[in-house]
Amino acid sequence: MDNRRISTGIRWMVAAITLAVTPAGWCVDVKEESAGDIIRRQDGSELEGVQILQDNYIEVKYKTHRMTASIRAFDVKEIEYADATTKEDYYLKAMYNIRKGRWAKAVERLREALEKDQIDKKTRRVGKEPWGREYAYFWLGYCEYETGEYAKAREHLTMAIEANPKSRFLFEAMTRIALCYAEEKNFAEAEKALDAARKRFQEYKDEVKNISVDYSRFADRQLALCELARARMCLRRADAELKERGKGDYDRVRSVAQSVISMCRMENQDIQAEAKELIREALIGMQRFDEVLMYCNRIVEDYKRSLSPDLQAGLPGAYIGMGDALFGLALQREAEGILEGEQGARFKFAEARDKYLRVIVEYFDNQEFLAKANYMVGICCKRLKDVEKDAMERAVRHWKTVVEEFPDSAFRQKAEEELAAAGAGTPKTDGASPKTDAAPAGPDTMSSKSAGTEPASKSGVAPKAGSTPAKTPASAGTGKEPATKREGGKAAPVEEKKAGEGAVDLP
């Protein structure tokens, strides 16, 4: 009896010890699993503690201690490799700055990684890991494009593709290489690069057509983005021709942009919105301002009728387009000496200002247009200084916003010049470019770029149905404007000609 009691007691003790150590063993297992690579999906979910086995434009394969699996490449938002997560790693610091939109600082960090042998001299790989060369040179080229170093950007984007011909960055890299040529006004090479990109994207489509229809849809999206890049290149060329010869081929811009719209599926409304913006810019280049107003009004009315979220992406661009068209009409009226009345220059400048203000007020979370909108509000106020007592004060306030909150914008220098001319000096921008760049525990780099897709689209928050519209020009001259909420961003450059200097040069 005593022996049975002792045996039973021993069994209970063993069971208790087993229950006590099981949580500890489970914790050890989780700790080991969380110490590996991290896959972030487009839907926001994460896979932690994995080991990447394959990373290309078809699928990302990985394994855990339990299994081996894969994810479709276009479902991957980004990959964070375990050997790039140390605090002092220059690559990680670069990723942190990319997430913040600090392109120049990211370039500095990536170049430091190269100079300080963070990338092995023989293999050109960060930490001698297979992913290093592909990732480091793609992001270096990406950031150099953003800072206007187009020759260097082309070189490094090409190196990224050479490192992995089936990279998830392939689509973005090839289109940016073409746009680099366009920015350098080497349009013949830009055409060749776009033709090469289109051919390569078609090869990809043929390669994945038997996998699933989702792959074919992704391939179609990349082909549409390639043609969108061609439309941008055509616009650059038309602008250059306009300056050199007084006439640019804006009809081709419209034709290519319209073909992009035809290529797009319903789920690619963001691409269609950008194509429509290019059509609008082409019309402005031809100084067909009334057509621009009708075109942009149609975009807004289409949204109001349907209230479809798919049409939201085009709204901020439409209001910017209206502002540009009204500003162009105002310059024409001013050149003709027509200043007063609803068709006069002053009323048109006030109308244009209201459109730009509407972008600032209603689309304050859209970083793409805010620098331009603030700069142009200042220009419109400057044009109205003879009829509004506080016009220059308001202009200075908006130009300071550009300098302080949009330090990387192409409008910053123009705003500084306007401030200097107004005797307002230049505000400090220390807060925009901090000297330190401590990396967070889990950097969230720019996802769509990491997935090999296009840059973030020019989308905004749609106005609520029935909301009160921005004030009308009837209130011009009161010195009042809506309160604004702003965030950082960047936009394309703007040039302004004086009245009577020939063709109107619009933002």
DSSP for residue 451: T
Q: Mean pLDDT of all residues in the chain?
A: 78
The Cα–Cα gap between 369 and 491 comes to: 6
Q: Would you say residue 17 has pLDDT above 50? A: no
DSSP for residue 432: G
Question: Per DSSP, what are the bridge partners of residue 68?
Answer: 63
When pLDDT is averaged across residues 230-244 and rounded to a whole number, the result is 93
pLDDT at 25 (0 to 100): 36
Structure confidence at residue 373 as a pLDDT band (50, 70, 90) = very high
Q: Would you say residue 113 has pLDDT above 80? A: no
Distance of CA 198 to the CA centre of its chain: 22
pLDDT at 311 (0 to 100): 74
Which region among 13-22, 329-338, 371-380 has the lowest average model confidence (pLDDT)?
13-22
pLDDT at 478 (0 to 100): 34
When pLDDT is averaged across residues 205-227 and rounded to a whole number, the result is 94
Q: Would you say residue 331 has pLDDT above 80? A: yes
Q: Would you say residue 316 has pLDDT above 60? A: yes
- 323: closest CA among 377, 242, 287? 377
Q: What is the pLDDT of residues 467-476, one digit of tens each?
A: 333 333 333 3
Tell me which of 310 and 76 has the higher pLDDT. Answer: 76
Burial class (CB in 10 A: 0-12, 13-18, 19+), 301: exposed
Secondary structure of 219-259 in the HEC alphabet?
HHHHHHHHHHHHHHHHHHHHHHHHHHHCCCCHHHHHHHHHH
Q: Would you say residue 16 has pLDDT above 80? A: no
pLDDT at 485 (0 to 100): 35
Structure confidence at residue 31 as a pLDDT band (50, 70, 90) = very low
Structure confidence at residue 299 as a pLDDT band (50, 70, 90) = confident
pLDDT at 474 (0 to 100): 34
Structure confidence at residue 447 as a pLDDT band (50, 70, 90) = very low
Which region among 80-89, 373-382, 389-398, 403-412 has the lowest average model confidence (pLDDT)?
80-89
Q: Would you say residue 414 has pLDDT above 50? A: yes
Domain ranges of the chain: 2-79, 289-436+450-507
Structure confidence at residue 61 as a pLDDT band (50, 70, 90) = very high
pLDDT at 21 (0 to 100): 43
Structure confidence at residue 303 as a pLDDT band (50, 70, 90) = confident
pLDDT at 429 (0 to 100): 55
Report DSSP letters for 297-319, one per residue.
HHHHHHHHHH--GGGGGGHHHHH
Tell me which of 177 and 288 has the higher pLDDT. Answer: 177
The pTM of this model reads: 0.67
